[in-house]
Amino acid sequence: MKSRRSYINIIYEGKDITGDLSPYLRGFTYIDNLDKGDNVTLSLTGDKWINEWAILKGDKITVEIGVINWRNEGDNRILKCGTFTIDDLSFSGIPDTMNISGTSIDITKDLKGVKKDNTWENISLKEIAQEISKTYSMDLFYDCTEEFIFDKVDQMKESDSSLLARISKEQGMILKITMDKIIIFDEKKYEDKETVITFDKTNLIKYDLQCDDLEVYDACELTFYDPFLGELLKSKYEAPISEFYKIKTGKILYENIDTKVIGNTKEEKEKFLNDRAKKILRSKNKNETKMKISYMGDPEYLAGITTKILGFGRYDGVYLITSVTHDVTKKYTCSLNMRRRLGF
């Protein structure tokens, strides 16, 4: 079999500088996140970066990771990491070293950095996202089966990206922003997809398994005063008993809902509240069982796909990958953060 190798391609401000950087490149990582912007980090040796070639904040770099003869001869693939805005530069020595960090969010736009005051009335989550995406000439990918309509949303000294993240999370949805796109999606749709990768404990470089009960609740109870019915509506969703607890904890999450409740009758509205309570409870409990593993790198490891975990006994099961760090510093490895799929 021909030798296996990995490589990276770097386009800086529209120019391929891979060959220029290669003699100085000492480290490279790409972090693919499910629920926030992605990041890249490069470590370069030498002092030319503060002399004849000054790399500046706000400059754009586009990155690819490639593999040749990876899992078998002829297995050649490329992971298009995307385009990033340089947002942090640091220098150290001796020897002279420069670290470059880039984010998939365009910091030259006001989306993240500028705080605003605004009031939105009788408007849906999708409509707010559409208006904000249009303001910054970005595309919107809205992957939610239901709509969320607010009577009123106050934006006080808050950036547009923070506003979208807050109101999406409140409804149990996930927000991700890239260079030219705003993405809002229902995380459960990705959890429920078929697994495409299997990891066995015996083959891992290392692992870390964590069970957290600080933010785990038995139930979520929502209240909503309906002005048309003239009464306070309540609905409670109880999660199935967790296999990791002998008994229920007794912790209940109480919230008052501030979006419009869909339905004409009391029964229809209570059902809507129950579905919303389930989403909110899922959002709170989703990190009950988390795992981080290190494994040989591969371009197919991406945030948002599901994997089957074996060799951990009662902790075996389906896990959703929430972030992947692709490290091509010495040899190509991946660190994957994931959480176990909930039973509801």
Residue-by-residue DSSP string for 295-330: EE--TT--TT-EEEEESSGGG-EEEEEEEEEEE-SS
Verify that 306 and 233 share a domain, yes or no: no
Q: Which of 133, 136, 168 has the alpha carbon at shortest distance from 153?
A: 168
- How far, in whole angstroms, is CA 197 from its chain's centroid? 19
Report the alpha-carbon distance of residue 339 to residue 342 in Å, rounded: 9
Q: Is 255 exposed, middle or buried (0-12, 13-18, 19+ CB in 10 A)?
A: middle
Answer yes or no: do 95 and 37 share one domain.
yes
**What's the pLDDT score for residue 298?**
94
Query: What is Dmax (Cα atoms) for the chain?
Result: 75
**In terms of domains, do 153 and 252 share one?**
no
In this structure, the answer to whether residues 92 and 141 fall within a common structural domain is no
pLDDT of residue 176: 87
> What is the number of domains present in the chain?
4
Q: Are residues 12 and 99 in the same domain?
A: yes
CATH number of the domain encompassing residue 45: 2.40.30
Range of the domain at 16: 5-103
Domain final position from 49, 68, 103: 103
* Token pair in block for residue 154: 């106050």
The CATH number of the domain holding residue 162 is 3.55.50.10
**Amino acid at the residue 154:** D
Q: Give the three-state DSSP class for 212.
A: coil
Q: Same domain for 10 and 94?
A: yes
| CB-neighbour burial class of residue 144 (10 A; exposed 0-12, middle 13-18, buried 19+) | middle
Instruction: Take residue 41 and report the two structure tokens written for it.
Output: 């980090």
Domain boundary among 70, 103, 136: 103
- Measured CA to CA, the distance from residue 85 to residue 46 in angstroms comes to 22
Tell me whether strands 25-33 and 289-296 are parallel, antiparallel or unpaired: unpaired
What per-residue confidence (pLDDT) applies to 244?
64
Give every strand in the sheet of 181-185, ordered side by side: 139-143, 181-185, 174-177
The residue ranges of the chain whose pLDDT is under 70 are 1, 108, 213-214, 243-248, 258
Task: Specify whether 251 is located in the same domain as 232.
Answer: yes
Position 307 scores a pLDDT of 95
Same-domain check for residues 168 and 305: no
Residues 25 and 98 in one domain: yes
pTM equals 0.87
Q: Is 200 strand, coil or helix?
A: strand
* Residue after which a domain boundary falls, among 103, 136, 158: 103
Looking at residue 11, its pLDDT comes to 93
Please give the C-alpha separations between residue 123 and each of 131, 145, 284, 308, in angstroms, as whole numbers. Answer: 11, 17, 25, 40
Count CA within 13 A, CB hemisphere, residue 178.
15
Closest to 282 in 3D by CA, of 161, 162, 189: 189
Does residue 23 sit in the same domain as residue 82?
Answer: yes
Q: Which pLDDT score is estimated for 213?
A: 66
Question: Partners of 319 in the beta sheet?
Answer: 307, 340
- What is the structure's pLDDT at 39? 93
Q: What does the pLDDT look like over 124-154, one tens digit per residue?
A: 889 999 998 998 888 999 988 777 788 788 8
Residue 339 forms beta bridges with which residues? 290, 320
CATH assignment of the domain containing 298: 2.30.300.10
For the chain, report the end-to-end CA distance as a whole number of angstroms: 46
Same-domain pairing of 151 and 266: no
Judge if 239 and 324 occupy the same domain.
no
